[in-house]
């Protein structure tokens, strides 16, 4: 059972998410709030697994609200404004839903949350083979898996964790994106954002301030753009 809360000042937007959640037997809606201040009081005394948070709200917007939480839950931004996606990645949100939110897109967001919770529960460790530059071993529970660098598409930072995306699976590891750079170093991998490392050979195209990797759109941070362009031009 996934305990969820909604914060949105728009009644219709809240109603849609409530209706979606009520369709699913494994979702428990523990709170629905029309402002961030009431929600903050609630979260001081109650824990939730996932938060669906609007950004543009009076009194306290969603970004300020999320920054004010000492231990924020897994968060999905829900907004009518595309330009907030970059702020979302900076804050470690797991997904960004653009209004009006369809039920299939909502389900995709829930799957991301469930996958992250499930993978995070599995202790993960890495073993680097000093004489073998093409792979590392990943220890997850009692299993030891060979992870080939050629299969890794990108790494996403999410607060104190990193999600390693490959062509066939995902691995969640404890650690920052900075620590992941030691495992996935240049020139094969490039840091393109505070929260993202990408495999250079997996880049399909670059559109202004984002990189396209299959179904993934990776933001390019201002502080990383010059280095990224230099790395790309050198391949």
Question: Tens digit of pLDDT per residue, the chain (235 long)?
Answer: 999 999 999 999 999 999 999 999 999 999 999 999 999 999 999 999 999 999 999 889 999 999 999 889 999 999 887 776 666 777 888 998 999 999 999 999 999 999 889 878 776 777 766 666 788 888 766 677 888 999 999 999 887 888 899 999 888 888 888 888 888 888 899 999 989 999 999 999 998 888 999 888 898 988 898 888 888 876 5
The shares of helix, strand and coil residues in the chain, as percent rounded to the nearest 5, are 35, 35, 30
For residue 51, the model assigns a pLDDT of 97
For residue 110, the model assigns a pLDDT of 96
For residue 208, the model assigns a pLDDT of 82
C-alpha separations of 33 from 18, 37, 131, 213, 229 in Å = 11, 9, 55, 36, 43
Give how far the C-alpha of residue 122 lies from the chain's centroid of Cα atoms, to the nearest Å: 18
Domains identified in the chain and CATH numbers: 2-120 (3.40.50.2300), 147-233 (2.40.50.1020)
For residue 132, the model assigns a pLDDT of 63
Handedness of CA 143, 148, 154, 156 (dihedral sign): positive
The pTM of the full predicted model, rounded to 2 decimals, is 0.78
């Amino acid at each position: 059972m996934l305990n969820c809360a909604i914060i949105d000042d728009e009644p219709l937007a809240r109603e849609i998410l409530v209706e979606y959640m009520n369709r699913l037997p494994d979702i428990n809606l523990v709170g629905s709030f029309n402002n961030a201040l009431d929600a903050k009081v609630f979260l001081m005394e109650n824990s939730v697994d996932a938060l669906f948070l609007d950004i543009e709200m009076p009194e306290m917007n969603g970004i300020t609200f999320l920054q004010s939480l000492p231990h924020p839950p897994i968060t999905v931004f829900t907004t009518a404004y595309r330009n907030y996606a970059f702020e979302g990645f900076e804050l470690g949100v797991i997904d960004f839903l653009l209004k009006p939110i369809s039920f299939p897109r909502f389900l995709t967001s829930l799957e991301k949350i469930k996958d992250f919770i499930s993978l995070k529960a599995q202790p993960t460790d890495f073993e680097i083979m000093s004489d073998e530059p093409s792979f590392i071993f990943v220890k997850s529970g009692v299993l030891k898996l060979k992870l080939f660098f050629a299969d890794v598409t990108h790494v996403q930072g999410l607060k104190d964790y990193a999600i390693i995306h490959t062509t066939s699976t995902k691995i969640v590891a404890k650690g920052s994106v900075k620590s992941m750079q030691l495992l996935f170093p240049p020139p094969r991998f490039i840091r393109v954002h505070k929260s993202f490392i990408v495999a250079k050979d997996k880049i399909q195209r670059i559109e202004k301030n984002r990189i396209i990797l299959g179904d993934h759109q990776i933001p390019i941070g201002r502080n990383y753009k010059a280095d990224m362009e230099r790395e790309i031009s050198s391949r």
